[in-house]
Amino acid sequence: MNQNDTLIRVNGSGSGADAKRAVLTDERKLAELLGWASLGLGLPEVASPGRFDRLIGVRPDPKPRAITVVACGLRELAAAAGILTLARARPVGWLWARVAGDALDLALLTQALRNRPERPARLAGAIGAVVAISAADVYAAIQNSRHKQENSPATEEQPMDVKAAITVRRSPEEVYAFLHDFQNLPRFMYHIESVKPGAGGRWHWKAKAPLGSLEWDAEVTEDRLNELIAWRSVENSKITNSGRVQFSPAPRDQGTEIRLELHYDAPGGPLGDALAKLVAQGRTPQAKDDLRRLKQAMETGEVVRSDASPEGATASRLLKQRPAQPLDTEDAQSSARHMERSYV
Amino acid sequence: MRANVWSGRNTVQVENVPDPKILNSRDAIVKITSTAICGSDLHLYDGYIPTMKKGDILGHEFMGEVTDIGRDVGNLKVGDRVVVPFPIACGNCNACRAELYSCCENSNPNAGIAEKLMGHPTAGIFGYSHMTGGYAGGQAEAARVPFADVGPIKIENGFTDEQVLFLSDIFPTGYMGAEMCDIQRGDVIAVWGAGPVGQFAIASAKMLGAERVIAIDHVDYRLRMAVEKAGADETINFEEQPDVVEQLKLLTAGRGPDACIDAVGMEAEHGHGPIHAYDRVKQAARLETERPHAIREAVMACRSGGIISVIGVYGGLIDKFPIGAVMNRSLTIKSGQCHVQRYMRPLLERISNGEIDPSFVVTHRMELGKAPEGYETFKHKRDECVKVVLKP
């Protein structure tokens, strides 16, 4: 997998603010530069078209001035808005629009050259500049288009931040102790197959994925007794992720407020769909279901099962539920392993 | 075993299905001796409750004999005779600790759907759509009862099934409807709907000291039962007297009832042509989920400062709700699926004391195999039907 094709997370201390800082890849950088170029050209074209025309060697008559404002200035500002704000993550369309705009500019400038300009040298210089910019635009548009094709739409996600919270009628001490042993996580996080202690205080995570499973190592980045646990995947993990869970006493005797934050990166490249699906499972509904099952396990002793969803419900398969009828013996046995997932 | 399953709008059929098994350690299996069709089952039958699936076993009013228990059920043993409450409640969460059992935070595995529709999830309910958990219901020869250490109540005296069966739902539901009215000496209570729940709301309002209870319905034999069996003092048949609000003003010398109980819910029938047609069309087109005529009327009729107690079932959204009347006349709306676990013991005591014999609502007894006929009879109020009890 080419790291340049993806957003690389800068994740210093594992905190949310740092996690959101991302380094842009080369072709995105070029796109952004072109966006600023649009702004730099568009503003003077709109604000002072007469002076602009004189600068590029065109006679400052009313007609070229109007063309400068409408056909060039506003167009450049639109491109700047598109590339820098509206479609910042995927500016491909706007880049191709810039290419079309370059063609228009060249046509207008060539036309101006034929009309016996005041200063042909300046005009020729302007044409040269536009040709150079056009080359950059075509290059950027092609590069960004290629990047778009390499990623299926599902994997084009931005890094995902998931937040969920729940109140559990247990003390912060009990909740902290239960979650501090990461081996307990698969009891209520159904897309996690196992978490096992590894070398150097790291944890080896194994997650279910559509094509087999995904594994990575994570290290605890912060650990405050009965208050907070934070972790993140180590470098070179196939799936870049981090998370933190905070505990605080709920008002009155209502137990513990648990706040969960997860950050995922969905990398492009060969793992494509499989990763995207897995990561999609980390989205908010899934996290909420995870917390509900944690609550069920801690409050009632077990994950609660109904006939329609004997393995405990998951948001992703609400539409695929069985009818509310008892399981036949075979199904009951195959889902019996969940019985072992009791808390008490 | 045999069970009555939902197989589409207006269709139920009795089929052979696998026997229930223990899935959680606090489960019990109950061999069912009596089970009833509830008015709210008709909302499922009519297709107005979303998230039903073909093959879902219906039924949430049932009782029977414990035949198997999970390892963590300490209070029951095989052979015990129990009545099972319709909401499934864990007894451990903050809602259960506050006795809000029908809002249990743990018993609905499909909490995600319920949260989308209602803002927050609600408890699991037997045989009552997937939004309430997807639990197999009790119109069957046996059922799995989760949290059997919290819900079922043991019946040790020699009561008949029909005397105690309704502790599972309609008696506590009617009772809670009356309790929410905060009845004071001299209060006049109006009850919309003289179906089974309405009958118990009327009887409970009298038990709790209401001065007068007025029953409102359009089915004569049910109004007759309300007076003769449940103890209503007056009746309004809205087919004959369509302006119910005006009738109530006449009966209360202009004050209006002190509290109004809506024991009708989402599929109100009404004589008022245009308004009924409006709701009917919108409901059929799924533009609103309810035909909320009873509650609109209750709000308009209630005295200023009074209480609207809603025990009729609603599923989603209503139109043309007179919120202006609620606000400007200081009305209070109280509501809830019944927290049955809260009421089973005290109401069993009232039955033991001879204050009430709930079996008065039963009009039809059928073999489980005749469930489809039972639904049709109940739905179309044929043969003076009020309550159907099925015997597996």
Distance CA B76, CA B162 (A): 22
Q: At what angle do helices A172-180 and A284-300 cross, to 10 degrees?
A: 110
Average pLDDT over residues A169-192: 93
Residue of B nearest to A314 (CA): B110
State the average pLDDT for chain A. 78
Provide ipTM, 2 decimals: 0.90
pLDDT at residue number B343: 98
Distance from CA of A339 to the nearest CA of B (A): 7
CB pair distance less than 8 Å for B134 and A312: no
Out of A74-88, A176-190, A237-251, B106-120, which region has the weakest mean confidence (pLDDT)? A74-88
**How do residues B136-187 score in pLDDT, each as one tens digit?**
999 999 999 999 999 999 999 899 999 999 999 999 999 999 999 999 999 9
Q: B132 CB near a chain A CB, below 8 Å?
A: no
CB pair distance less than 8 Å for B134 and A307: yes
Using a CB-CB cut-off of 8 Å, the residues of chain A touching B138 are none
Instruction: Name the more confident of A312 and A136.
Output: A136
Decide if pLDDT at B7 tops 90. Answer: yes
Could you say which residues from 323 to 382 on chain B have a Cβ atom under 8 Å away from some Cβ of chain A? none
Place of tokens 């990047």: A147
Distance CA B94, CA B103 (A): 10
Q: A323 CB near a chain B CB, below 8 Å?
A: yes
Place of tokens 């009966």: B251
Average pLDDT over residues A24-43: 80
Residue of B nearest to A339 (CA): B24
Within 10 A of A317 (CB to CB), how many other CB atoms are there? Answer: 11
**How do residues A249-269 score in pLDDT, each as one tens digit?**
999 989 999 999 988 765 555
Cα A67 to Cα A60, A72, A108, B318: the distances in Å are: 11, 7, 9, 56
Residue B112: which of A300, A315, A327 has the nearest Cβ?
A: A315
**How do residues A67-99 score in pLDDT, each as one tens digit?**
888 888 888 888 888 888 777 777 888 888 888
Mode of pairing for the β-strands spanning B364-367 and B388-391 = parallel
Question: What's chain A look like in SS3?
Answer: CCHHHCCEECCCCCCHHHHHCEECCHHHHHHHHHHHHHHHHHHHHHHCHHHHHHHCCCCCCHHHHHHHHHHHHHHHHHHHHHHHHHCCCCCHHHHHHHHHHHHHHHHHHHHHHHCCCCCHHHHHHHHHHHHHHHHHHHHHHHHHHHHHHHCCHHHHCCCEEEEEEEEECCCHHHHHHHHHCHHHHHHCCCCEEEEEECHHHEEEEEEEECCEEEEEEEEEEEEECCCEEEEEECCCCCCCEEEEEEEEECCCCCCEEEEEEEEECCCCCCCHHHHHHHHHHCCHHHHHHHHHHHHHHHHHCCCCCCCCCCCCCCHHHHHHCCCCCCCCHHHHHHCHHHHHCCCC
